[in-house]
Amino acid sequence: MTRPSEAWDLAKGLLVVSARLTHDQPDSPGSSFGDGFVTRLGTFQKFYEQHELREWIDAVLATQSVAASPGVFYVFRDPTARERFLQSRYRRRAAAPRQSVRDKLFEEHRPLLEPLMAFLDERGRLPAAGEIAEVPGIVEALGSLKVAFQVVKHATGEERWTAVRKGRMKDLLVYLALSRFGGRPRYSQLPEETRPDIRALFSTYNRACAYSDELLFMAGKMPEVDSICRQSKIGKLTSDALYIHRSALEELHPLLRVYEGCARVLVGDVEGANIIKLRRDEPRVTYLRYPTFDKDAHPALHSAEHVNLRTLDVEHLSYEDPANPPILHRKETFVADSYPHRDMFARLTKQEEQRGLYTETQTIGTASGWRDALLRNGVTIRGHRLIRLGARA
């Protein structure tokens, strides 16, 4: 058997380490032996808690691992590659601003300016020499990059590029705040393309780190988390939590992104999880799986991963009760305005409200309770439409 240290010696860029977690442990795993069990077949098995597995990997390999998902960790040879991967987790995926055709100069030099706009949208700053091939041509045609950017802003709207710049700043602050958990990289360890971002957006690395430390500190204070949750224009606010769709995470306030990121540092990306529950009364984040979120008007909950940020415990729960699973309502509240079919979700909710289907909220949270409510009101749901019983589709 190859020991982890031997596998690490063979790894050139990345080592992936996985193990079974305690929630996978069968009711009768075998007879106890050391820190594990001997099965009926005579094999030894060891089950881990998520944080225990990380600590073991880090101790054996004398490096900092990165949680990829429950029971799976990445170990990078190159610290820069590790930081590039971590940054990718906290980058928003904003579409390039739409363009108008009101500026003749913009249209004349559009082939040169489109690569510049793509760079600006990605980095939130003007490119340095050599970062895009079109720089010499832009300078020759328009005199300088600053003049070219003025042309772009005039044609596409300055407020859009201000939003892009602020968005990139927020992404970097979230990344730097969460980098404290694995040992924040030195400036020289940052990806080469990130260093100019820091200089352009924050002037100095120390200043960027100071802002991010303040953000991390505030994310650890539940009154602050509660306040920001209450102010959020995205997500469904309940008595104890804010629920959001995974696609809307990047649009949350940076403090809430850091709060969620603390859980993801521990558990990694939870495969299939599309609804995230941010508790605002205690430090807990839950990743919920609704496999038919887009397809079903009221999708059923399949399973969840509860992350306790105080104890560092990760708990897996299954809700596979085919007869009466928990279900979702008001799907449009979980997603951002740009989410596909959001308007369709909202139209259904309005129809359901008009029929009085939400008057007994204590009973409609499960499939059977919801079916009873539909029957009492003489309606059914087909696709995302509310239809009277007996009516043709």
The residue among 388 and 360 whose pLDDT is bigger is 388
Q: How confident is the model over 262-286, as pLDDT tens digits?
A: 999 999 999 999 999 999 999 999 9
264 in Cβ contact with 281 (< 8 Å): no
Half-sphere exposure of 10 (CA within 13 A, CB side): 7
Q: Could you give the percent of the chain with pLDDT greater than 70?
A: 90
Confirm if 339 and 357 have CB atoms less than 8 A apart.
Answer: no
Residue 101 pLDDT: 40
pLDDT of residue 1: 46
Three-state secondary structure call for residue 388 = strand
- Domain map of the chain by residue range? 4-77, 104-156, 339-388
Please report the DSSP string for 195-220 in residue order.
HHHHHHHHSSHHHHHHHHHHHHHHHT
Residue 187 reports pLDDT greater than 50: yes
Which of 187, 173, 190 shows the shortest CA–CA distance to 83? Answer: 190
